[in-house]
Structure formats: C-alpha cells, structure tokens
Structure 1
Amino acid sequence: MKNKSLVLAAMLATCITSFAFAAPQTQWNKGETQIDLGLWNAKAESGGSTGSKWNVNGGATYGLTDQWAVQYEYSGLKTKHDDTTGNSQEINAVYSLNKNVAVYGGWNRIKNSFNNVGSDESARNYNCTNNVLQLGVIAKKSIGNNFDVYAKGALGTKKTSLWEAGINYAVSKNLDVNAGYRYVNTEINDDINLTYKGAIIGASYRLGSGK
C-alpha cells in the first residue's frame, strides 16, 4: 500500500509540473500571478499519531506592486483512515524586503476534525476551528545551477506555529518544482496541541508579469 501511495504521488507530481504548490516567493513583479498546486504527505500527532496521507494543496499569489502581494493558500489536513479530515485556509499580505527575504501577516483558518488521535479521552474525538492571526518570514538562497534552498516560519494566536523548509529548482523563468518538509502545530484546548507534519512536493507557474 505504501508503494502504491509513492507511485501515485510521483504520477501526480509529474502531471502538475505546469502549475503547482511551490516554494514560497520572496520577490515578484507588479501584476504577476503565481498559481500553486501540490501534495503534502501529512500525518497528525497529539500524544498518539496517525498514518500519513497525501493531500492536494493549492493557492495563488498576486503582485499588487513590486513589493506588496496578496496570497491565498489551501492545505488539506486529512490523514490515513480519515483519522483527521480538516483543512487550513490562509489569506496573507506579503512584503518583499529583498530578493532573499520577505515577511507576511494574515489570517489562517485551521479546521481540526479528528478521531482516535491522542491519549487524552476528552480530545480524542473532537472538532474545532481555530481562526489564527499570524506573522511570518520567508527566506530563500540560491545555491547555483538553478537551485534555491528556502525556509518559512510563522507564529500566531491559538498557540500556533508553522515551519517549512526545502529545495527549489527553476525549470524555466516561469516554472519551478520543489520538495521539502512542513510542520504545523495548533491548539485544541488549553492543555493540548495538535501537530500536522510531513513531506511536500510541487511546482509553480507564474504569468501576467508587467515586465
């Protein structure tokens, strides 16, 4: 079963190389749109843990100016056997400091819906939605031969943190592919947090540049 999942993930990754879930941007042009779609092999932990499952993720970023952009992102939070079935939706304003660093802030709606996860009986079967205000930073560094390494981190309300790191390859001026690892931790109640984590793969396509 695990081998079938890996094969399916590889096939999907091949199919979406024209536009996909990409490494986060640190710079853009006014009027440029980046469309994102990809896969996250998420598992959940809260005392106990679930098996992992590939989720389809997506989003878009639009350059309002050469420094300001608005961004929407969707991330599935399903895990094996539907132990968790939630999702995350973000709306952010992103500001480019330079070609290597950008900062962002916004709203992240994390819907947590899970069964048989964790050691605490009161939270083992639970549904809650966290409306999180968050601030974060994105860093990217070229390592040559069309490769970049990147990292992204954010802290927010509801004891929420998000961390992501990976490597990005520029296939062409407007097309990138990437692979990395993502970690999200958020509050379930006053005593318990839930963690989602796993590998991510994807690509990105940019269009409509004003330059």
Structure 2
Amino acid sequence: MTKTDKFYLMNDSTIHTPFMSSREKQFISSYNGFTVLKLPYKKEGDDQDSRSFSMLLFLPNESDGFHDLIRRIVSTPNFVQEHVPHRRVHVVRFMVPKFKISFNFDASDVLKQLGLKSIFGSLSADLGGICLESSIVEPLFVSNILHKAAVEVDEEGTTAVATTVIFGRGSCYTPPVDFVADHPFIFVVREDTTGAILFFGHVVNPSI
C-alpha cells in the first residue's frame, strides 16, 4: 500500500517521498508530546535463540518537537525502556516512510582516546599469536578499525544487520490511533529482554 506523500523537513519545506501503510493492528502508545511505534523482529527459520529484537520509532506530535524529544531521550535514564508499547491497537492512519541509512567511520582514534593504544603500534603490539610462527614476516599490529552500520525500512520490513521485522496481529481492543511519520523522528533497535540498544538514529529526510 505504498504511495507518495509529503514529508515535512526541519526547514519548514516539504518533499515527496514513498510512505508505506497497513490496515493491521500495530504496537503503538501515545505519551505527552510524542507517540511510539514498535515493530518486532521476526526470528529466522527455527531460531531457538531466547533473545528478541524490535525497532522503535519515536515520533514527536509536533513537527518542531524533534530536538526536544531527542534531549528527553538522551538525558532521561531508562527513557526508551519506559516507553515501549506492549499492546496492539487499531490504527486509523498509518504512514511510515521508506528510508535507508548507512554510516561508517574510522573508530581507531576513538578507541585510542579510550586507552586502547598498544595494538596500533608495530613496536607495542603483540599479535603474533594469531598466526603460525613460520608465517610471521614482520610484527603484526592493527592499522585501522572501521565501523559500519546500516538500517533499511521498506515494504519487506526493516533490516538492521541481518534480521527482518514483520507487522503483527493481535486481539486486544483499545481506541484506534494515528501514526503518521511525515516529519523527523527517532528510531531505536533494541534487544527486548535486556533493553540493550543496538542502533540509535534519526530520520530528518527519508529521500536522501
């Protein structure tokens, strides 16, 4: 049910971008100034892993409420954990834009600032144990550590690392709500049992 509609940018201009919709019930809860959508990830095949994962979209009620919501999330302990929807509800208007984010950076300097320095020097590193002694030609050390993360949300679900989410069904009844993500929002990918946050990002322009 994808169709193009307006997305309101932070500079008060608009773009047209593909939005996905659904008539299924969704995990949604409304709070003071914002609404949260939870998309549970599907386990692949016969995966017996006890862990479960979900993506949360934190949508400010007002288009200019983005920065205030981010401040609340990062400055309030357990904010994410305390605002996870637990019941599926009927949705009147449901619109989530397609988006794909990829980010990478050289983590070497960050790790050095945290105190991890010896592995980067040819004189200080002692990594020879990972090779057969006969194959060591010169001292082994780490030159760079690169970090890359990618999150994609489309009609098939959301992909973060190699896991896929599905929109679920339910039987509990609560008053129907709207979830129209047509302005900047925050997303979180978390492990549900421990509450550990694996990805934290925001979408201010889904067309980029």
**TM norm structure 2:** 0.27
Larger relative strand fraction: 1
Higher RCO, Cα 8 Å, sep 6+: 2
